A = this chain, B = another copy of it.
């Protein structure tokens, strides 16, 4: 990594490294992850120096204090990242697992073996910790990864990627399995996205604009989600205390993330009683309510929703609220305004719970729990590489398994076709 490589050179090296890491033992991959964790704790110096450079530039460019905070690394944060890598090391290795092996009438044994995808490119924004998470998940799943972090975190991410490469070498694995695009030149990213014979998958993580640019510019398959316009529908049969607890959590617990609720739909029959408990709780928590006409009738103090408020990802303490006449109207609203991310129903009615689950076409459909659970860790995947609202390959939170594909493996003893 001493001299600046072009993306073609870099992707070619990544593809060669991918073949080697695909066949690496679980032991070697875990050794690399544990070495990486150790280096983050014992060789933090260059990382913190690089981070100080990024922070100084961020200040000079007037980055918001919130963004500066997301950029900042300190020994405590590095320890947390190292802990994350140790957790990835402790996860089961997805590679090589053979599933659904069946014996055919002619004695052939046919199964599917989980194998790495190959080379994955991750295009992300300023958070330097994504560098380590992405590198860790790709190492464990036997893939090579090309990282292209945001320019604000360029020095930090480069220093973090360098420690990954050193750790791979220490474990006898190819350093080129984790590389960082060594420039912030956007043209190089555009070139990278056309290398469809070398790179197998692109995952963009960040704002809508970043994602749209990647989707439009890439000839490589892309897995992504644009936004999280999550709904909760409070059915007429809902248990009101449960509905209040769940809806409060979905909006307030962490409003700035993609699985926070943005629109609340309420069945007209329960609306008066539910609003009586719910709206004061929101008000107390500082949530701005933007209600439909029927909501305003029941709670005249709320703001009137503008048309654009339904289907909007606020990412702050603002909530659009609509009273609906039926489950069908709620599902129709979700189909029209949702983003196929995460949608929930609160209901005590068995049949309506099952209809909602079957008919709502979102990557996560939840009954009687907060939309905030839509997350790889909460779902027990052990890790998360992002959330997909695409239909092909992976949908919903992506864990280690979603960084693999399967091939058919067939064991015979001389069978031929008649």
Hey, which bits of chain A sit against chain B, CB under 8 A? 19, 22-23, 96, 102, 104, 108, 110, 112-113, 115, 117-118, 200-201, 221, 223, 239, 242, 245-246, 248-249, 253-254, 335, 353, 357-359, 361-370, 372-374, 378-380, 390-393, 395-397, 405-417
CA separation between A108 and B415, bound complex, in Å?
Answer: 47
Chain B residues in 8 Å Cβ range of A407: 361-365, 395-396
> Would A253 and B409 be within 8 Å (CB), given that A108-B373, A373-B108 are in contact?
no
Look across to chain B and name the residue whose beta carbon is closest to the beta carbon of A107: B369
CB-based contact A417/B373 at 8 Å: yes
CB-based contact B242/A392 at 8 Å: no
Give how many copies assemble into the complex.
Answer: 2
Chain B residues in 8 Å Cβ range of A361: 19, 22, 115, 118, 407
Chain B residues in 8 Å Cβ range of A357: 113, 409
Q: Which DSSP category, helix, strand, loop or mixed, fits chain A's interface?
A: mixed
CA separation between A382 and B413, bound complex, in Å?
Answer: 23
CB-based contact B417/A378 at 8 Å: yes
> Would A410 and B369 be within 8 Å (CB), given that A201-B392, A253-B417, A391-B118 are in contact?
yes
CB-based contact B414/A369 at 8 Å: yes
CB-based contact A102/B380 at 8 Å: yes
Chain B residues in 8 Å Cβ range of A411: 353, 367-369
The smallest C-beta distance from A366 to any residue of chain B, in angstroms, reads: 4
> Would A412 and B366 be within 8 Å (CB), given that A358-B23, A395-B405 are in contact?
yes
Look across to chain B and name the residue whose beta carbon is closest to the beta carbon of A242: B414
CB-based contact A373/B201 at 8 Å: no
* Max count, chain B CB within 10 A of own CB: residue among A359, A363, A391: A391
CA separation between A140 and B221, bound complex, in Å?
Answer: 27
The smallest C-beta distance from A231 to any residue of chain B, in angstroms, reads: 14
A-B contact pairs, 13 of them (CB 8 A): A23-B359, A102-B380, A115-B361, A117-B391, A249-B416, A353-B411, A362-B407, A366-B410, A368-B413, A368-B415, A374-B410, A395-B406, A395-B408
CA separation between A408 and B367, bound complex, in Å?
Answer: 11
Chain B residues in 8 Å Cβ range of A417: 249, 253-254, 370, 372-373, 378
Cross-chain contact of A372 among B112, B113, B408, B416 (Cβ < 8 A): B416
Chain B residues in 8 Å Cβ range of A221: 221, 390, 392
CB-based contact B378/A405 at 8 Å: no
The smallest C-beta distance from A226 to any residue of chain B, in angstroms, reads: 12
The smallest C-beta distance from A365 to any residue of chain B, in angstroms, reads: 5
Chain B residues in 8 Å Cβ range of A378: 104, 108, 417
Chain B residues in 8 Å Cβ range of A245: 414, 416
Besides A110-B380, A118-B391, A253-B416, 19 other CB < 8 A contacts?
A: A104-B379, A200-B391, A221-B221, A253-B417, A365-B407, A366-B409, A366-B412, A367-B409, A367-B410, A369-B412, A369-B415, A370-B417, A372-B416, A372-B417, A378-B417, A392-B393, A393-B393, A395-B406, A397-B408
